[in-house]
Amino acid sequence: MEPRQASIAVIGCGVIGESWSALFLAHGYDVHAWDPNPEVRARFAQQIERPLAQLASLDPNPRPKGRLRVAGSLIEAVATAGLVQENAPERIPVKRALYVEIEAAAPKNSIIASSTSALTWSELSPALLQPARLITAHPFNPPHLIPLVELFGVDNDVLARAEAIYRDLDRKTVRLKKEAVGHIANRLASALWREAVHLVAEGIADVSDIDAALVNGPGLRWSVIGAHMVYHLAGGEGGIRHYLEHLGPSQVRRWETLGSPQLTAEVREKLIAGIASEARGRSVSELESARDTQLIRAIQARREGR
């Protein structure tokens, strides 16, 4: 598929499907969207106005937008698709059943990409006659703003064609060499959160202080430099080799002191109370808007630096 020469099918129109659709449309791709729930379909065009407006605010010279069609059936949605982006619930039977229908109705050469965060290619692919058409293409929430798309598949040509499309959307793609539950980003996030929960459970710091430490410390730094590269710089002119030789053993000892919390009722109540204090009366929707405003500003700053 050459970028923007065929339509893109968005299957599953929840928050991830909305975000993907806005991104495809903003970059000039026609989107044919479908969700099994007629109410979701009915409100979909309106739902994507907010992410579309956010993307417009990021782009001083927008391309001509693609056209959105909310399809009446799955078959109709995928009929002319070069890429099918599937965002169904995270249940293997649901996704497998969809793939059987998609494979029968979509153009033979089209790519089937699953947004799955928690399932793997091996769990999803057996439903297909041509499993190599399937890739996992995991975006990071909110996908229209966060650049990352994590890819896994078994056919280099399929992966390369998918990468061309995602890069055309200004996404940063990374390929996994072996599949893993949670891919890369959610495994890192899960590892960090485990320790963040441990700090709360042990009474070392409050939820809001842990979040403030992250946002004003390692989070800010990881928005410009990766975790491995941090240790390369920490080694001075000797770099990562020097670091590993001299401070590697102390890191391994540190790892051994990290927590293994359980989400007991007591810990859950501490987390809930801590978030209530951090939220200071703001609703989830208000907090999301604040996050998006700040993300847009951070992304603008990156683009100015290119």
Residues 245-274 that bind a copy of itself (CB under 8 A): 248-252, 254-255, 257-258, 260, 262-263, 268, 271-272, 274
Among 210, 246, 266, 281, binds a copy of itself (CB under 8 A): 210
Window 61-100: contact mask with a copy of itself (x via CB under 8 A): ----------------------------------------
Closest distance of CB 191 from a copy of itself, Å:
4
- Which listed range, 50-58, 69-77, 125-133, 210-218, lies at the site for a copy of itself (CB under 8 A)? 210-218
Nearer to a copy of itself, 21 or 120 (CB): 120
- Which listed range, 43-51, 62-70, 103-111, 199-207, lies at the site for a copy of itself (CB under 8 A)? 199-207
Q: How far apart are CA 26 and CA 170, in angstroms?
A: 11
Contact 23, 66 (CB under 8 A): no
- Which listed range, 38-46, 108-116, 129-137, 202-210, lies at the site for a copy of itself (CB under 8 A)? 202-210
For the beta carbon of residue 11, count every other beta carbon within 10 angstroms.
Answer: 29
Nearer to a copy of itself, 72 or 219 (CB): 219
Closest distance of CB 51 from a copy of itself, Å:
15
Q: Does 286 bind a copy of itself (CB under 8 A)?
A: no
Q: How far apart are CA 102 and CA 162, in angstroms?
A: 17
Nearer to a copy of itself, 155 or 211 (CB): 211
What is the 3 state secondary structure string of the chain? Answer: CCCCCCEEEEECCCHHHHHHHHHHHHCCCCEEEECCCHHHHHHHHHHCHHHHHHHHHHCCCCCCCCCEEECCCHHHHHCCEEEEEECCCCCHHHHHHHHHHHHHHCCCCCEEEECCCCCCHHHHHHHCCCHHHEEEEEECCCCCCCCEEEEECCCHHHHHHHHHHHHHCCCEEEECCCCCCCCCHHHHHHHHHHHHHHHHHCCCCCHHHHHHHHHHCHHHHHCCCCHHHHHHHHCHHHHHHHHHHHHHHHHHHHHHHCCCCCCCHHHHHHHHHHHHHHHCCCCHHHHHHHHHHHHHHHHHHHHHCC
Nearer to a copy of itself, 128 or 146 (CB): 146
How many residues lie near a copy of itself (CB under 8 A)?
109
- Which listed range, 4-12, 24-32, 106-114, 230-238, lies at the site for a copy of itself (CB under 8 A)? 230-238
Closest distance of CB 86 from a copy of itself, Å:
20
**Footprint of a copy of itself on 126-165 (CB under 8 A):** 140-141, 146-148, 150
**Footprint of a copy of itself on 159-198 (CB under 8 A):** 172, 174-196
Nearer to a copy of itself, 85 or 110 (CB): 85
Residue linked to tokens 């630096």: 305
> What is the separation of C-alpha 15 from the centre of its chain, rounded to a whole number of angstroms?
12
Q: Does 212 bind a copy of itself (CB under 8 A)?
A: yes
Please state at what angle helix 49-58 crosses helix 38-47, rounded to 10 degrees.
30
- Which listed range, 33-41, 79-87, 91-99, 213-221, lies at the site for a copy of itself (CB under 8 A)? 213-221
Closest distance of CB 111 from a copy of itself, Å:
20
Q: Does 119 bind a copy of itself (CB under 8 A)?
A: no
